[in-house]
A and B are shown apart, each in its own frame.
Chain A
Amino acid sequence: MSAFTFATAQYDSGDWDSAPSVPANVIDSVARYTSIAVNPTGVIVALSSADVLRYPLLYLTGHLPVRFSGAEREMLRTYLRRGGLLFVDDHNHDIDGQFHKTATQELALVTGKPLAPLRNDHALYRSFFTFPDGPPTTSHELNGWGDNLVHKQLLAHLDGDRIRVLYSNKDYSSEWNFHPDNKRFLSVDPTRFGVNLVVYALAG
């Protein structure tokens, strides 16, 4: 029984490392709110490497256009087929941005169909904390650059009712990209949804 390790996907195109504090922040929340055995640091794993198969949750983000290589696409297809959960977050928070356009295209190529809106009563929103209104809104969504929209739903690729790819335009990468020590200044921890992601991925 190994401890949970947060994995960030490294892909050749784009800036995969644009939110370096997100892993530590999610790890902090998993340790803070759950008894899940968790490693204190995350790992960076190449998307074309078979090492991705060792991690139940894969986090992918960036601002720049995303173009997967053939190896990356094939490995990602294998990863999803074996039950992994890929969480993609648009760091631009812009449905007109290059990341959104290219990433959704690439994911459609990998899964064979475009991403679809995920209903807000999905089990993901009850896997640990309860989010009755669906995905929690980010401050960057309410007031920031990008499309400045409050996205009511996330996008997803489902296998039955099981999420294989979760796609967010809500810019959690910005919302969660701070040192976890600064959580003490927040009245509400915005990374609680990250715990849901981890628990949902592990409960598969």
Chain B
Amino acid sequence: MTRSVARDAARTRVAAARRELRAARTVRALAAAGLAFAAIEAIAWGLAALLDIDALHRMPAGFVAAGLGALLAGWTVQRRATAAKSDTSTALWLESQLPELRFALVTRLELEDGHAAVPALEARVATVPVESRMRAVIWPPLLRLSAMAAVALMAVLAIPRLSDGRSSATPLPARRVANALADWQVSITPPAYTRRAAERYDNPVRVVAPTGAGVRVSGVLGVAPVAMSIGAAPVPVDSSGADNRWAVELPMPRAAVALNATSGAAQRVLLLEPIADSLPTATLQAPARDSVFRMPTGTLALRAVARDDYGVRDAWFEVIISSGEGESFRFRTLTLGRRAGAGAGPTELRAALTLDGLGLSAGDLIHLRAVARDGNTVTGPGVGGSDTRTLRIARPDEYDSVAVEGAPPPDPKKGILSQRMLIQLTEALVANARRLSHAQLTDESRRIAKDQDALRRQVGDVVFSRLDDNGQGAEHAHDHSAMTPEQLMAEAQAEMRNAGAAVDFAEGESPVIAINRPLLEAYNAMWDASRALSVGEPKAALPPMYVALAAIQRARAAERIYLRGRPKDIVVDLAKVRLAGKTDGIGPGPRRPRPSESDATRRLLGRFNDALALLPRDAAGAVNQLLLLRAELLGSAPTLAAPLADAIDALQRGGDVTGPLAAAYRRLAGEPAQIRPASGWSVDP
């Protein structure tokens, strides 16, 4: 009985120790799990803050990972804690922790139930305070470990509040993301007059909407506040929403702008591209052209079509009647056929204009056009008009007008044929004389005689004009046309005597003869020729005609004077000739020269290349740069901005963006210059 009681007491003590060890093992596992959870969470926060990766913390998988880590840690601790596996292992653990037992406890447990009691063993086991010693060994470090785990967990839970910078009194937001700009939504509410439905986009980099449309950009609040600006002007951001979201609301501007958003270190750009509302157009189909009415009676059928991109609000015919003349006019304005618009489609206008009731009188003008108005309540309303038809009531006195085209008077000298031409005509007449009747021959010969007389009179005038040119006898303007050669010579001699000119001429000739001898010979021969021609003897006229021609040639050879020297440079004003107008000296003040096209191109390409260089490292940053470039080009060069939009959209879609980027580059760089084959001489097209 005594042996059995002793053995049971030892087992009972071991069993109690084993239960306590199990409890300690559970507490240790929980503390380890808590520490693991806190550690994983802390690492995730650190990575999120360092790499600006919100997903690490935002995604549920993060919490799952932390939980799994905690379970793993607890399980590992459980497995490694072997002391509570069996009574023997517990006894061995106690022996290791309490050396004064000297293996008495293990030995006692291993004795068979029928084995005789060993007093020394019993005494050893009884004397050692196993329970108190075991608690002193187990619980102090375990409590420290649990405290550490609790502190770590509390610290992890306190990070969001610390990052947000709020006081501990502020309620913790439901959920904060690391990057508030990583995910945003844009809602577009077009103006009511456009009759367009509202639209919503997820994560757009640019939105296109009619001018004046409401634009709302929103996203989840993040650890850093969101700030927005357009250029240097800040845009207020509403972060007070109860739904844990920030939002910006602004109207679509008239010109493209870039909305710059920042949140901590994160940046993002949203390009706002307005669609301008075009003015309505009106086409007047009838009457088709201007006209003049003899009488102000009858009815005119008016027909027009009005169109607008968002629909015509109303349209009508406008008639302006002007009466009067000179500086006294009176005007009346009428409106006909006003009609409300027919939605987005074309609006047809029809009306009839009765002239009888307008009180028109002769000379009155009717100016007729169609006018259309759109329903733009943001920048309008826009009003467009058709071409104006002018209808006029004729005046009674305008039917007898005669159109006269002015023409310059003919040059009298061009009616005079040259001596060589007269010879040709006379030779031709002589050659054809056999085929002509006498009357025809005589008539033709007399016609040549008249031309010969005209030339003779011209030579006579030349003789005296040459004297006049020398300052002699300028006032003696006689008619020499009817003079015989002798009379002409006598007149010339008299002129020279009256003038008292120098007589420094060879062979005793008078100056007038020396100067004019060849011409006087020509004059004499022409006289003979014209006389022969006048009587219908062209063949007889030819010899004196040859003499006259030879004399004229001699006069030319003798008198011609050639002036030598460098020609005066004449610079042709090409801009004036080509009606291109002046390009300099215009304007009140000095102007700076416009940068050359190549400079602008180089600057654009530089910015484009910078964006491309950024693309491998920071795709979002590259897109932002391209958006800013497009915002600038939309105002100055819309044709260059178009391929940039394709490139930006392609970057957003992902995949191969080589084609759109290459197209944008080519457009910015300009069309390649055509290399033409080398040519000696050619012209610009």
Contact present for A143 and B413 (CB under 8 Å): yes
The prevalent SS among residues of B at the interface is: loop
Contact present for A31 and B684 (CB under 8 Å): no
Q: Complex Cα distance A147/B420, Å?
A: 6
The total of chain A residues at the interface (CB under 8 A) is 45
0/1 interface trace, chain B 660-685, chain A, CB 8 Å (1 if under): 00000000000000001000111111
**Interface positions of A from 3 to 39, Cβ below 8 Å from B:** 3-4, 15, 17-18, 20-21, 23-24, 27-28, 31-32, 35-38
A129 adjacent to chain B (CB < 8 Å): no
Residues of A within 8 A of B676 (CB): 1
B556 adjacent to chain A (CB < 8 Å): yes
Contact present for A150 and B562 (CB under 8 Å): no
Q: Given A143-B418, A148-B419, A180-B572, does the pair A20, B680 have CB atoms closer than 8 Å?
A: no
**Interface positions of B from 415 to 437, Cβ below 8 Å from A:** 416-421, 424
Q: Given A1-B676, A56-B681, does the pair A149, B572 have CB atoms closer than 8 Å?
A: no
Stretch at the interface among B96-104, B190-198, B441-449, B563-571: B563-571
B585 adjacent to chain A (CB < 8 Å): no
Contact present for A38 and B567 (CB under 8 Å): no
Q: Complex Cα distance A54/B683, Å?
A: 14
Contact present for B414 and A40 (CB under 8 Å): no
**Interface positions of B from 455 to 470, Cβ below 8 Å from A:** none
Residues of A within 8 A of B562 (CB): 15, 18, 63-64
Q: Complex Cα distance A33/B564, Å?
A: 32
Minimum C-beta distance from B459 to chain A (A): 12
Residues of A within 8 A of B552 (CB): 145
Contact present for A56 and B421 (CB under 8 Å): no
B560 adjacent to chain A (CB < 8 Å): yes
Residues of A within 8 A of B408 (CB): 187
Contact present for A150 and B574 (CB under 8 Å): no
Minimum C-beta distance from B553 to chain A (A): 7
Q: Which residue from B553, B567, B577 sits with its C-beta under 8 Å from A17?
A: B567
Residues of B within 8 A of A17 (CB): 564-567
**Interface positions of A from 120 to 153, Cβ below 8 Å from B:** 139, 142-150
Q: Complex Cα distance A32/B414, Å?
A: 28
Residues of A within 8 A of B564 (CB): 15, 17
Q: Complex Cα distance A83/B685, Å?
A: 21
Residues of A within 8 A of B569 (CB): 41
Contact present for A139 and B414 (CB under 8 Å): yes
B573 adjacent to chain A (CB < 8 Å): yes
0/1 interface trace, chain A 88-130, chain B, CB 8 Å (1 if under): 0000001010000000000000000000000000000000000
Contact present for A36 and B421 (CB under 8 Å): no
Q: Given A32-B577, A143-B414, does the pair A201, B420 have CB atoms closer than 8 Å?
A: no
Contact present for A149 and B418 (CB under 8 Å): yes
Residues of B within 8 A of A145 (CB): 552, 556
Q: Which residue from A18, A35, A36, A149 sits with its C-beta under 8 Å from B420?
A: A149
Contact present for B568 and A20 (CB under 8 Å): yes
Contact present for A148 and B681 (CB under 8 Å): no
Minimum C-beta distance from A135 to chain B (A): 17
Q: Given A1-B684, A41-B571, A64-B562, does the pair A32, B578 have CB atoms closer than 8 Å?
A: yes
Q: Complex Cα distance A3/B684, Å?
A: 8
Contact present for A41 and B416 (CB under 8 Å): no
Number of A-B contacts (CB under 8 A): 94
Contact present for A4 and B683 (CB under 8 Å): yes
Contact present for B577 and A31 (CB under 8 Å): yes
Q: Which residue from A4, A56, A94 sits with its C-beta under 8 Å from B680?
A: A56
Residues of B within 8 A of A81 (CB): none
Q: Complex Cα distance A138/B336, Å?
A: 63
Q: Which residue from A1, A31, A35, A146 sits with its C-beta under 8 Å from B682?
A: A1
Residues of A within 8 A of B418 (CB): 142-144, 147-149
Q: Complex Cα distance A63/B681, Å?
A: 30
Contact present for A83 and B680 (CB under 8 Å): yes
Minimum C-beta distance from B466 to chain A (A): 14
Residues of A within 8 A of B417 (CB): 148
Q: Complex Cα distance A3/B556, Å?
A: 41
0/1 interface trace, chain B 97-116, chain A, CB 8 Å (1 if under): 00000000000000000000
Contact present for A24 and B572 (CB under 8 Å): yes
Minimum C-beta distance from B340 to chain A (A): 51
Q: Complex Cα distance A3/B682, Å?
A: 9
Q: Complex Cα distance A24/B552, Å?
A: 33
Contact present for A28 and B577 (CB under 8 Å): yes
A160 adjacent to chain B (CB < 8 Å): no
| Chain B residue with the shortest CB-CB distance to A180 | B572
Q: Given A37-B683, A201-B681, A204-B681, does the pair A31, B566 have CB atoms closer than 8 Å?
A: no
Q: Which residue from B411, B553, B570 sits with its C-beta under 8 Å from A179?
A: B570
Minimum C-beta distance from A151 to chain B (A): 11
Minimum C-beta distance from A176 to chain B (A): 12
Contact present for A40 and B571 (CB under 8 Å): yes
Minimum C-beta distance from A162 to chain B (A): 13
Q: Complex Cα distance A142/B411, Å?
A: 12
A202 adjacent to chain B (CB < 8 Å): yes
0/1 interface trace, chain A 167-196, chain B, CB 8 Å (1 if under): 000000000000110000001000000000
Q: Complex Cα distance A85/B411, Å?
A: 35
Contact present for B570 and A31 (CB under 8 Å): no
Q: Complex Cα distance A129/B416, Å?
A: 29
Q: Complex Cα distance A145/B557, Å?
A: 11
Residues of A within 8 A of B424 (CB): 149
Residues of B within 8 A of A150 (CB): 421
Minimum C-beta distance from A90 to chain B (A): 13
Q: Complex Cα distance A137/B560, Å?
A: 23
Residues of B within 8 A of A24 (CB): 570-572
* Central interface residue in B424, B566, B569, B680, by most chain A CB within 10 Å: B680
Minimum C-beta distance from B416 to chain A (A): 6
Q: Complex Cα distance A150/B682, Å?
A: 34
Contact present for B560 and A63 (CB under 8 Å): yes
Offer 24 A-B interface pairs, CB within 8 angstroms, sorted by A.
A1-B682, A15-B562, A21-B567, A24-B571, A24-B572, A27-B572, A28-B577, A31-B574, A31-B578, A36-B684, A37-B684, A40-B574, A41-B570, A63-B562, A82-B680, A142-B414, A142-B418, A143-B416, A145-B556, A147-B420, A148-B419, A148-B420, A148-B421, A180-B570
* A-B complex: 3 closest residue pairs judged by Cβ atoms: A148-B418, A20-B567, A24-B570
List chain B positions with a Cβ less than 8 A from chain A. Answer: 408, 411, 413-414, 416-421, 424, 552-553, 556, 560, 562, 564-574, 577-578, 676, 680-685
